[in-house]
Structure 1
Amino acid sequence: MVSLVGICSRAQTPENLEWVARNDGVFKHHLDRYKYPLRYGEDEGYEHRDKAVFKMLVPLESAIAQHGYMGGIDPCATDLAIFPFVRQFAAVDPAWFAHQPLPALQAWLAGWMASPLFATCMVKLPSQSIRPFPTLGKPRADTTR
């Protein structure tokens, strides 16, 4: 389980702040055009896929390969900020993504997706209903109030 002690402070390095800026800027730009090419007047998003890999995922692979997380040996808020976007990117074409030479990034992504934190956050609830937060690691979609 992710310890919340230090999760934010480890993300406050200049390098991690740059990762968040890169994610929210150039990577998000290319992710949107890869995922939704017709919205942007393109037939295919492969050029944007390749640019996203080159500008974000290959460097991210190197960073994660060094220690396992953006916060070093422990995750930090930078991991949490970037993870959903990498997940979206991988979900566009999972078979293609699985065959890319990004083993550290793929393991990092799989780890987050298998985590109790992710399972708890992804519980589907009826819209516009008030529910208590589920206990971490024990998702409860069936609780009523």
Structure 2
Amino acid sequence: MILEVPILYSFRRCPYAIRARMALSIAGIRCELREVVLSDKPSELIDISPKATVPVLCLSERVIDESLDIIEWTRLKDDYLLLPSEKLNTQTLELISIFDNQFKLNLDRYKYPNLSLNQDPLENREACLDLIKNVDELFLAEPWLYGKNISLLDLAILPFIRQFRNIDTEWFDQLNEIPNIRKCLNYFMQSKEFLSVMGKYDQWQLGNTPVYFPPK
């Protein structure tokens, strides 16, 4: 199938989808945005990606249904997320793996306690906080984690830390033990890179007028 532009299936609040949209926007890659309601997933999404999670990027030649793979594809088009050294690149990949696995597991158990049998949500909250503390000790947030320019690490983990904060903003905002992460997260949430991809869209349905992203 030959497409005029890539098609992105997305859900506005999903941290995986947020980081994919940010990557596409920063790289200046235009696509058709199809906003998905997770309780009413379109058959068109399920047909191209049976696991039916977002984001999914449909290209003429293939389908990419993992957010980090979408980011990597955008970097092949425009290598905008440069890292200052091989050491930092290794560190970045290790931290992304920790947040995509350990942090996300504890985050879900904290956010959805009714779905996690025999799990104490506050214990899972503390497990998330411990991982954030480890990151806080490594960076100064000036203003991004690696300095003046946004990096792969910012893109990959800050949407999840934002989701963690949103569960109990009053508690999170009074934490004194993670000053660098709080500073960086505040900058992230006010940045043009983030705000430009957080527009609200109606649920996509077959036959709708195409919505193009990023907005002009």
TM-score greater than 0.5 by the shorter chain: yes
SS of the residue corresponding to residue 47 of structure 1 reads helix
**In terms of mean alpha carbon deviation, does 112-121 or 40-49 score higher?**
40-49
Q: Percent identity?
A: 27
2:189 and 2:195 in contact (8 A); partners too = yes
2:175 matches 1:100: yes
Q: What residue number does 2:212 align with?
A: 132
The root-mean-square deviation of aligned C-alpha atoms, in Å, is: 2.4
Could you state the TM-score of these two structures normalised by the residue count of structure 2?
0.55
CA distance in 2, matches of 1:69, 1:57: 15
In structure 2, do the counterparts of structure 1 residues 65 and 121 end up closer, same or farther at CA, with 3 Å as the change threshold?
Answer: same
Unaligned runs of 5+ in 2: 1-24, 28-77
Task: Name the one with the larger strand percent.
Answer: 2
SS of the residue corresponding to residue 132 of structure 1 reads strand
Could you state the TM-score of these two structures normalised by the residue count of structure 1?
0.80
Unaligned runs of 5+ in 1: 136-145
Q: What residue number does 1:71 align with?
A: 146
Task: Select which of 81, 86, 95 maps to 1:8.
Answer: 81
Between Structure 1 and Structure 2, whose CA radius of gyration is higher?
Answer: 2
1:64 and 1:108 in contact (8 A); partners too = no
2:194 matches 1:121: no
Greater relative contact order: 1 or 2 (C-alpha under 8 angstroms, separation 6 or more)?
2
2:154 matches 1:49: no
Q: Give the length in aligned residue pairs.
A: 133
CA distance in 1, matches of 2:133, 2:160: 15
CA distance in 2, matches of 1:40, 1:89: 17
Q: What residue number does 1:109 align with?
A: 185
By how many angstroms is 1:3 displaced?
Answer: 7.1
SS of the residue corresponding to residue 63 of structure 1 reads coil
Q: What residue number does 1:36 align with?
A: 112
